[in-house]
Amino acid sequence: TAAARAAGSPDNLTCQLLCIDGLPVPDADSVFRELTELPFPPTLEPGMILDGYRIL
C-alpha cells in the first residue's frame, strides 16, 4: 500500500474477481503422473514464497 500511494494511487485496496466457465477434465494417468512427480512443499510458514505466491 505504501508503494501504491507513493506512486499516486488514491486507494489502498485492489480486488480481482474471476468467473471460470469450465476446465478440462484430466485423465487418470496425467493426475497420477503429476501427483507422483512433483515434490511436496515444505511446511508453510507466513512470509514464505511458494510458486510465486506469498504465504500469509
- pLDDT tens across 22-36, in order? 999 999 999 998 889
- 3-state secondary structure at position 31: helix
User: Do β-strands 49-50 and 53-54 pair in parallel, antiparallel, or remain unpaired?
Assistant: antiparallel
Dist. CA 1–CA 14, nearest whole Å? 10
Cell of 42: 515444505
pTM of the model: 0.36
Strand ranges (DSSP E) for the chain?
49-50, 53-54
SS3 state of residue 52: coil
- Residue 14: predicted pLDDT: 76
Closest CA to 44 of 30, 34, 54: 54
